[in-house]
Amino acid sequence: MAKNLVDKLYVDEYNHEYLLKNYQEGGRFKLFSNVFFGKIGAMSKANWMMLLFCIPAFVAIFYAAYRALDIESSVPFSSNYGLGYPVVTDLEEIYRNLTFKNNMLRALLLIPGIIVGFLGLAGAFNVIKYECLGFNVKIIKTFFKGIKNNFITFLWLGLVNALIFFQLIASIEHYGNFDMALGWQIVTITLSCILMAFSAIISLYVMTQAALYDMPLLKMLKNAFLFATSFLLQSILIFIISLVPVGLLFLMNVSYFLQLVVIMICAMLGFSYIICIWTIYTHYVFNVAFGAVLESRNAKGKKKNKHRAAKAQ
């Protein structure tokens, strides 16, 4: 463990002892299998509870989709190129502008939807934390207790990630629509994607800390940044693995049957899978990193006591 990381981390010593006491030894893959597949009923129930908090985001998406269909059906984009009456010019430009406005409206409506979704994550992370520590919990009670204990932290995370997501969508929608050099548009989109991914990783570290420890938000953010940068490759790898449900959604257009299967899997277990992966991984990181911090503190304390005893003699 790097010394500079050990010196900079903030530790909730009391609750870390709780993690150590209940930490399940053995391989992480085995633990994931025992929790995710062995308690699949609890995973599914927590996932359905999470989906309730995604309803505002779904409403925003469906509303924007309805507007897109309305735009396509109400304006004669495929006809009237100088023929018939009335004559409508620049149809492609009109269609592009209306689509751009609709997409931006969807991104704007998704901001409160994402924030509400993060409140659901507070409950889901609390449930799966206890499942990973070996407890059998009452899902609904534990879910809402997680929201009660951590709603401020998750509201802030939701707001920040929603605004970053809005900026990402804006950079994508501006591509080719405005008089900006193509190179700058590509750079803007690339930086927005990197920022969104990094923000998601930081947020996941913060959420698992919030579910387990009693720390100020700024301390958790600092720890999360240190973890994300110190374990960069591992964080990226786990992040990619956790996005399997998202990757499955890209297969939805392959066939109607596969589309139904993917929707059912994601509806039943998608969020629980992501949260379980990150909870197990970060518990391992916390066990190693915070354990090293406490060990370093104890060593320094013993050294100071020994020095004081020598001076007293």
The pLDDT value recorded for residue 46 is: 94
Residue 93's contacts (CB-CB under 8 Å, 6 or more residues apart) are: none
Q: Is the pLDDT of residue 57 over 70?
A: yes
* pLDDT over 60 (residue 61): yes
Q: Is pLDDT above 80 for 247?
A: no
| pLDDT tens string 252-301 | 666 667 777 777 888 889 999 999 999 999 999 998 888 888 888 777 65
- Residue 276: how many CB atoms within 10 A of its CB? 24
Which pLDDT belongs to residue 245? 81
Q: pLDDT tens digits for 122-156?
A: 999 999 999 999 888 899 999 999 999 999 999 99
Q: How many domains does the chain have?
A: 1
With b meaning 16 or more CB within 10 Å and e meaning fewer, what string describes 210-234?
Answer: bbbbebeeeebbbbbbbbbebbeee
Look at 79-93, 128-142, 179-193 and tell me which has the smallest mean pLDDT.
79-93
What tokens does 73 get? 């059906």
Question: What pLDDT, on the 0 to 100 scale, is given for residue 222?
Answer: 94
Answer yes or no: is pLDDT of 175 > 80. no
Q: Which of 248 and 65 is assigned the larger pLDDT?
A: 65
- Say what the pLDDT of residue 305 is: 52
At position 299, the amino acid (one-letter code) is: A
What lies within 8 Å, CB to CB, of 103 at 6+ separation is 64, 169, 173
Examine the pLDDT at 201 and tell me if it is beyond 70. yes
Q: Residue 104 sits in which domain range?
A: 3-312
Q: Which residues contact 211 (CB under 8 A, 6 or more apart)?
A: 122, 125, 126, 129, 146, 150, 279
Considering only 72-81, 199-208, 262-271, which range has the smallest mean pLDDT?
Answer: 72-81
Residue 190 has pLDDT above 70, yes or no: yes
pTM (predicted TM-score): 0.86
pLDDT in the model for residue 244: 86
Q: CA-based angle 196:202:203, to the nearest 5?
A: 85
- Cis ω on the peptide bond leading into residue 86 (within 30° of 0)? yes
